Amino acid sequence: MKHLFAVYLLIMALVTYLLRAVPFMVFRRKVRNRFFRSFLYYIPYTVLAAMTFPAVLYATKSPVPAALGTATALFLAYRGKGMVLVSLSACAVALLSGFLIP
């Protein structure tokens, strides 16, 4: 069993290294294409949203408090409020609606 763990760890390290090294080998000069630069700019935000959003929906026992908290966060973010206020308000609404809605 320990031998398999070492193999899995080695494969994971190799894949991680390749994912970080290949772009440096492929793109030796500065990327000048405006579309591709904007695509690369938004990748971290897209990955973060893809990892966070499912966790938001399944963070409560019922999907209703999660949906209300998400709606609160979207509304306050659309209104231009700060990230701390948006996060705390969404958490408070999800918590309170979890107590009120059976």
In a structure prediction context, what are the per-residue pLDDT tens digits for the chain, which is 102 residues long?
A: 667 888 999 999 999 999 888 888 887 888 788 998 888 889 888 988 898 888 888 888 888 999 999 999 999 999 999 999 999 999 999 999 989 886
What residues contact residue 69 under an 8 Å CB cut-off, 6+ apart?
56, 60, 90, 91, 93, 94, 97
Query: In angstroms, what is the C-alpha Rg of the chain?
Result: 21
Whether pTM > 0.75 for this model: the answer is no
- List the chain domain ranges: 2-100
The reported pLDDT for the residue numbered 40 is 83
